[in-house]
Amino acid sequence: MTEFFDEMTAPDGTLRAPYREIGRWFGEEDVARLRAKQREAEEVFRLSGITFNVYGKAEAEERLIPFDIIPRIISHREWQKLSRGIEQRVQAINAFLYDIYHRQEIIRAGRVPAEMIARNEAFLPQMLGVAPPGDIYTHIVGIDLVRTGPDEFYVLEDNARTPSGVSYMLENRETMLKMFPELFSATKVQAVSDYPRNLHRSLAASAPAMTEGDPTVAVLTPGIYNSAYYEHSFLADQMGVELVEGHDLRVTGGRVCMRTTQGYKPIDVLYRRVDDEFLDPLNFNPDSALGVPGIFDVYRAGGITIANAPGTGIADDKAIYSYLPDIVEFYSGEKAILQNVPTWRCADPDSLAYVLDNLTELVVKEVHGSGGYGMLIGPAASKREIAAFRAKLKARPGNYIAQPTLALSTVPIFTRSGLAPRHVDLRPFVLVSPEGVKITPGGLSRVALKKGSLVVNSSQGGGTKDTWVLED
């Protein structure tokens, strides 16, 4: 039987230091009161409209993300190490993007194969030679981390395109503050509420050189039917900026302008939540009704900052992921502080043969997949699912990577029978601007609510919880 690292309880049954106060509090609480608080939290989320859409069924289904009232707690020492590793990785990703779209030194050095870039659908040839304002490509990054031991953290995935989930991190904290203020009096927890202010400041600091006065920032959303629309509107509201759709914008006089009651007003920084393909029908997908015709030409001329920059997807592609330790070392001159999960690239014939022979023990993911869709968890899969995935791998091996099934750490959740351990991951959120890198303490903890499940994605039945980083 696999042993999982329990973040709350040591093998001898004692509570680990970060959880001692919350353990004492829980032991003194009335269970009926906590059940009422759990229901109250669900009602708060329902009234706030905090939902997401589940796709892949006959009809898109709107759901609440389940919220668990027991916080996930990280010590100050643990967070310091994680922060150093996250900053190192994010800076390397940004350097990699600049290099790939300019001199491509990493390819010349033989550290990343040229075909991994040239044949990758996430690579955007239109970005070759284009330098974004401040040379920043990844203004907002989400790094997915998993834990397997006391000091063992791994990067499961990099999210450098349009990372989502920060609104849930903020709402989780606000809900906990309202319902359990006594916990925050007894335990010194680092704040996350300044994220919207920091986001606005970071975006404004990334404005193009031609900006006059205070930069005008806006959030571009695909619209109300997008699964993350709640987050788009939430962040625009929290930053005090306009939430716009493609039809609200037009290019005029070499600027991207948004419609207002006083006419069209130029935008300096556009935080876009629209994929590259749909950003500009004149330069990318001609059928897109979500983007702005000509926006990429304005961008290329230095007339607007688009966050994140077009073409960043090449850095969080799951095939490129396997090269990230080399990428970190190449640009920083240091070994990666945070390690990757061992990864087999199925495009390689030897790796494919190994994966096909060991499907029942591995996790197989689509190179461009997200949200837990299109993946196989071998140990939990049926013979029919294994056979179907074997056929997919043989037909398109380059579309997949495989990884071992990690012994993900567990944290406590509140169940009908009390506290019970469930597997968890963590998505810290990182802001990057010419002013530097800022990491929000903690992030979004996603937890598998089903006993024994390793899938934490909300689209696959997972929930979220507040993440506490303790003060020193």
CA 348 to each of CA 255, 318, 343, 355, 396: distance values in angstroms, whole numbers, following the listed order: 46, 14, 12, 10, 12
Structure tokens given for 155: 């990067």
pLDDT digits over 309-325, tens only?
A: 999 999 988 889 999 99
Element (H, E) at 328: helix 324-332
Which amino acid appears at position 83 of this protein?
A: S
Q: Which residues partner with 445 through β-bridges?
A: 426, 465
With 0-12 / 13-18 / 19 or more C-beta atoms within 10 angstroms meaning exposed / middle / buried, residue 238 is middle
Task: Characterize the bridge pairing of strands 362-366 and 376-377.
Answer: antiparallel
Residues with Cβ < 8 Å from 134, sequence gap 6 or more? 205, 206, 433, 434
Rounded CA-CA distance 472/468 in Å is: 12
Q: What integer pLDDT is reported at residue 472 of this predicted model? A: 85
DSSP secondary structure of 246-276: GGGEEEETTEEEEEETTEEEE-SEEEE-S-G
Rounded CA-CA distance 332/322 in Å is: 17
Question: In whole numbers, what is the pLDDT of the chain averaged over residues?
Answer: 92
Rounded CA-CA distance 442/448 in Å is: 18
Closest CA to 137 of 94, 88, 189, 80: 94
Are 88 and 336 in contact by the 8 Å Cβ rule? The answer is yes
Closest CA to 208 of 305, 140, 306, 308: 305
The model's pTM: 0.92
Rounded CA-CA distance 112/121 in Å is: 16
CA dihedral 13, 425, 83, 41 (to 10 degrees): -90
Rounded CA-CA distance 328/111 in Å is: 11
Sheet containing strand 249-252, strands side by side: 249-252, 255-260, 263-266
Closest CA to 397 of 345, 344, 346, 321: 346
289 DSSP 8-state letter? S
Q: Which residue has the tokens 């991994």?
A: 116
CA 181 to each of CA 18, 79, 177, 411, 426: distance values in angstroms, whole numbers, following the listed order: 18, 23, 5, 21, 24
pLDDT digits over 266-278, tens only?
A: 999 999 999 999 9
Burial readout 410-434 (b: 16 or more C-beta within 10 A, e: otherwise): bbbbbeeeebebbbbbbbbbbbbbe
Q: Is the N-terminal amide bond of 308 cis, ω within 30° of 0?
A: yes
Residues with Cβ < 8 Å from 242, sequence gap 6 or more? 218, 219, 236, 258, 260
SS3 content of the chain, % helix, strand, coil (to 5): 35, 25, 40
Rounded CA-CA distance 195/434 in Å is: 17
Q: What is the number of alpha carbons within 13 Å of residue 135 lying toward its C-beta?
A: 14
pLDDT in tens, the chain (472 residues): 568 999 999 999 999 999 999 999 999 999 999 999 999 998 888 887 775 555 444 444 566 788 999 999 999 999 999 999 999 999 999 999 999 999 999 999 999 999 889 888 899 999 999 999 999 999 999 999 999 999 999 999 999 999 999 999 999 999 999 999 999 998 999 999 999 999 999 999 999 999 999 999 999 999 998 888 999 999 999 999 999 999 999 999 999 999 999 999 999 999 999 999 999 999 999 999 999 999 999 999 999 999 999 999 999 888 899 999 999 999 999 999 999 999 999 989 999 999 999 999 999 988 876 655 678 888 888 999 999 999 999 999 988 999 998 889 999 999 988 999 999 999 999 999 999 999 999 999 999 998 888 778 776 678 999 999 999 8
CA 81 to each of CA 85, 375, 469: distance values in angstroms, whole numbers, following the listed order: 6, 30, 12
The rounded percent of the chain whose pLDDT value lies above 70 is: 95
Q: Which residue has the tokens 């955007």?
A: 124
Structure tokens given for 37: 């608080």
